[in-house]
Amino acid sequence: MTTVTTPTYTYDHLVTLEETNLVGNVYFTNYLRWQGHCRERFLGERAPGVLRALRGELALVTVDCHCAFFSELYAMDRVAIRMSLTASGEHQVGMGFAYYRTNSAVPELVARGGQTVACMRRTEQGMRPVPVPDELRAALAPYRSGT
């Protein structure tokens, strides 16, 4: 039996005290913020033209976002957020996120999440769906999930 490993875009993050709550663990909304950070860094590195287009009429609208938690993270934990492409349609893309604590030699999966983004254009009549930009589609293609 062979194991297929999905290539991922990885955003490495060091948890700060600011991201924790009174109990000392990471407040849940930060996991969703990190999805955004990962996505934005991906755009900056792999699809800079799309990032520039966001200053104009293009909008990437998050239409779905979720996260399931398996283990707590704390201040000074190192976490790798690994993003993969889970779905691709004419106007939308789905991204999966796996959060790994990387403090030790063996990374520990601590959470898993995802989001769906719709590509829209700002018009005088409101937001209208547009095809996923070719640059974004090409940048995401190597990260397609096997599931």
97: β partners: 83, 113
Query: Is the CB of residue 101 less than 8 Å from the CB of residue 77?
Result: yes
pLDDT recorded at residue 33: 97
The pLDDT of 38-63, averaged and rounded, is: 96
Query: Is the CB of residue 146 less than 8 Å from the CB of residue 4?
Result: yes
141 confidence band (pLDDT: 50, 70, 90):
very high
The pLDDT of 83-99, averaged and rounded, is: 97
113 confidence band (pLDDT: 50, 70, 90):
very high
Residue 147 has pLDDT above 80, yes or no: no
pLDDT recorded at residue 2: 47
Query: Is the CB of residue 65 less than 8 Å from the CB of residue 54?
Result: no
The pLDDT of 106-134, averaged and rounded, is: 96
pLDDT recorded at residue 146: 63
pLDDT recorded at residue 5: 72
